[in-house]
Amino acid sequence: MAGAADHLPDDSDALKAALIETRAKLVGAQAVIEHLQLVIAKMQREKFGPRSEKSQRLIDQLELQLEEVAAAAAEDAAKATGETGAERVEVQGFTRRKATRRDFPADLPRRRVVHPAPTACPCCGGNKLSRIGEDVTETLDVVPRQWFVTEHVREKFSCRSCEAITQPPAPFHAIARGFAGPSLLAMMLVEKYANHQPLNRQSEQYAREGIALSVSTMADHVGACTATLMPLYEIIKAHVFAGERIHGDDTTVPVLAKTKCRTGRIWTYVRDDRPFGGEAPPAAVFFYSPDRAGIHPEQHLAGYCGILQADAYAGFNALYDANRKPGPITEAGCWAHARRKLFELADIASKVRKGKPSTISPIAFEAVQKFDAIFALERAINGLSPEARVAVRRKDIAPLVNDLIEWMKRERGKLSRHNEVAKAFDYMLKRIDVFTRFLDDGRICLSNNAAERELRGIALGRKSWLFAGSDRGGERAAVMLTLIHTAKLNNVDPQAWLADVLACINDHNIHRLDDLLPWNWAAETERIKWRHERRHHRPPQNHPRCCHARGSAPHRGAVRHPLDRLHLALQTAIGWTNSHLYEIRAGDLGWSTLIPKPIGPKTFSMRARRVSTK
């Protein structure tokens, strides 16, 4: 320090200039330190921080800080007066509401367990007890899955005339020469691609249940099922790209290589017309690529020329070219991406939890509030027609958008180009036409969340299956994700749907594969269920076992015979006294008997015989 002091100038003006220079360097160094701290905080939040982007979290954090300040002030005041814990606070009494147990679905089967009743009164010892009611407590339980073997028996018959041997043809299997049934195959696929359970974990779980299935055998089944279901994948892909507007996004997927894992990509394109009142069923198609080169989305969307709602990925730029064939794609921006950049700057939850000093960016916080006001109005018009959406947007949303843009321009002029808030503003201000296009087109959504929701499961699965085995494995994953996620979008159980499709696709008419799509399959399943319930519907209690057709009045002079009498009369008329009729049909009308007597494996056929009664 003494050596440094010897070099100080004696002139006061020179000392002032040196001091000013030193302060400037100190301010610059402090700015660099704050910038690097912000970059580190953003990287830590990206890796370890919460994924929720609800603005309520920001308000909760500010309230938490205010609560800490108020609590500290109250504690200091209490210590100063020495009255900590001396005062008692009286609260008004209240009656606690009785706790209610959860109501389980009514269609679940019930197993009634009646506990032994007392034989004598515990008070006086008398034995004259009279039942006055009961209390029922329900507990939810589960029966573990049961494994079984289905035996397909094909009996052989020999002709007594020509000695020829006949036999029914072998049934179709879901995969060639496979021993796994469709339900087992569907469970494997759903566990692997929907529940993120690798095949080795499934094999270990099955072994604990007494079933030995090797990983290689299960992998062969997965590959064979993918090839069998490929026609449905192509139909879903054509359905998605027939939409007027689609959502697009991609995410990373580690791929196993010789030395280390490389990064592949899973792309998704989602068609969801429900926000603007479209009647087409929603669907999602997935693709795999070994990298993120722009040639891949160009190949995916080679024949598409509608609206693409996506982020500002540069690989999409060639799709928006006016000279593109068969036509340019209209670009629509994602407001959720623009808001996310500002939300990350306003989110201080990780710092608060770690006890570090934190300051929330007031500009970023105000920007998030303005974004949320626009999103709130947009939610109210979901499901309306495109014309109605445009009318509401021009009347209510456009003023808020214009105010936001003007405010961002004013605040941007006050910030350095290296400021993180300025970079977040530039993301939107440089593409203002793309972000405001939704005001004039009711088909465009405010965000690209439809595609991001479909990719969320892959992000969760990366922590479970860690990597894809090869590029072929990534392609198989894209096919199965397309089928499973499309079923989920249509509120269809993917395991039940895949089990039914695998059971019948090899025997299905190739020109009617559309019947196996999730939305058509669900509609047909409901129709079959309705017909089955109608066919086996029991008459009302006030008309027990009436035999006239339901929904139509009996003709004049008709007599309502009980079904057991009608059953006996038909047996006598036909002459089959040793067989039992379970169902009587006449055209579209049907009656069911209530006599559950088994008829054995023998089947009967008869011709209609007119029975005259006098």
Both 435 and 575 in one domain: the answer is no
DSSP string, 187-222: HHHHHHHTS---HHHHHHHHHHTT----HHHHHHHH
Q: Pick from 514, 535, 556: which residue ends a domain?
A: 535
| Exposure string over 73-107, b if 16+ CB within 10 A, otherwise e | eeeeeeeeeeeeeeeeeeeeeeeeeeeeeeeeeee
Q: Is residue 484 situated within a structural domain?
A: yes
Contact 228, 510 (CB under 8 A): no
Q: Is residue 31 situated within a structural domain?
A: no
Query: Which of 477, 483, 514, 511 has the alpha carbon at shortest distance from 499?
Result: 483
Give 3-state DSSP helix, strand, coil % of the chain, rounded to 5: 50, 10, 45
Paired tokens of 520: 């058509």
Paired tokens of 143: 């029966």
Q: What one-letter code names the amino acid at 281?
A: P
Distance (Å, rounded) from C-alpha 607 to C-alpha 36? 90
Q: What is the pLDDT of residue 465?
A: 75
Both 234 and 276 in one domain: the answer is yes
Q: What is the pLDDT of residue 44?
A: 67
Parallel/antiparallel/unpaired status of strands 245-255 and 307-309: parallel
Both 214 and 298 in one domain: the answer is yes
Q: SS3 string of 549-611?
A: CCCCCCCCCCCCCCHHHHHHHHHHHHCCCCCCCCEEEECCEEEECCCCCCCCCCCCCCCCCCC
Distance (Å, rounded) from C-alpha 12 to C-alpha 438? 64
Query: Which of 487, 480, 502, 488 has the alpha carbon at shortest distance from 196?
Result: 480
Q: Is residue 281 situated within a structural domain?
A: yes
Both 526 and 544 in one domain: the answer is no
| Cis peptide, bond prior to residue 326, ω within 30 of zero | yes
Contact 579, 599 (CB under 8 A): yes
Q: Is residue 171 situated within a structural domain?
A: no
Q: Pick from 439, 474, 506: which residue ends a domain?
A: 439
Strand, coil or helix: 468: strand
Contact 545, 539 (CB under 8 A): yes
Which positions ≥6 away from 328 have C-beta within 8 Å?
305, 319, 320, 321, 322
Q: What is the pLDDT of residue 564?
A: 53
Q: Pick from 535, 562, 586: which residue ends a domain?
A: 535
Strand, coil or helix: 344: helix
Q: Is residue 54 situated within a structural domain?
A: no
Both 456 and 563 in one domain: the answer is no
> Alpha-carbon Rg of the chain, whole angstroms?
36
Q: What one-letter code names the amino acid at 379?
A: R
pTM of the model: 0.71
H runs (alpha helix) in 414-540 = 420-429, 432-435, 449-465, 471-489, 494-504, 518-535
The domain of 506 spans 178-334+448-535
Both 274 and 394 in one domain: the answer is no
Paired tokens of 339: 């808001």
Both 202 and 320 in one domain: the answer is yes
Q: Is residue 111 situated within a structural domain?
A: no
Query: Which of 62, 81, 476, 83 has the alpha carbon at shortest distance from 264?
Result: 476
Strand, coil or helix: 477: helix
The total number of residues shown for the chain amounts to 614
| Exposure string over 566-579, b if 16+ CB within 10 A, otherwise e | bbeebeeeeeeeeb
Looking up tokens 């929720």 gives 52
Q: SS3 string of 238-305?
A: HHHCCCCEEEEEEEEEEECCCCCCEEEEEEEEEECCHHHCCCCCCEEEEEEECCCCCHHHHHHCCCCC
CB atoms closer than 10 angstroms to residue 206: 18
Q: Is residue 225 situated within a structural domain?
A: yes
Both 192 and 307 in one domain: the answer is yes
Q: What one-letter code names the amino acid at 405?
A: I
Burial of 384: CB neighbours in 10 Å, binned 0-12, 13-18, 19+: middle
Looking up tokens 């035999």 gives 547
Q: What are phi and psi of 265, to 5 degrees?
A: -135, 140
Both 184 and 301 in one domain: the answer is yes
Q: What are phi and psi of 565, to 5 degrees?
A: -70, -40
Return the sign of the alpha-carbon dihedral for residues 95, 97, 99, 100.
positive
Helix (H) or strand (E) holding 234: helix 230-240
Q: SS3 string of 400-425?
A: HHHHHHHHHHHHHHCCCCCCHHHHHH
Parallel/antiparallel/unpaired status of strands 583-586 and 283-289: unpaired
Number of domains comprising the chain:
3
Q: What is the pLDDT of residue 375?
A: 93
Both 410 and 460 in one domain: the answer is no
- For the chain, the straight-line distance linking the first and the last C-alpha, in angstroms and rounded, comes to 132
Mean pLDDT of successive 10-residue segments in the chain (614 residues)?
A: 58 77 75 69 64 55 56 62 54 66 81 88 86 87 88 90 89 83 94 91 92 92 93 96 94 84 92 93 95 93 93 91 89 92 70 49 86 92 93 94 94 87 91 93 93 88 78 92 96 94 90 93 81 56 36 36 54 53 52 42 39 40
Q: What is the pLDDT of residue 290?
A: 92
Both 360 and 453 in one domain: the answer is no
Distance (Å, rounded) from C-alpha 461 to C-alpha 376? 32
Query: Which of 612, 577, 570 has the alpha carbon at shortest distance from 591?
Result: 570
Q: What is the pLDDT of residue 554?
A: 36
Q: Is residue 170 situated within a structural domain?
A: no
Both 243 and 385 in one domain: the answer is no
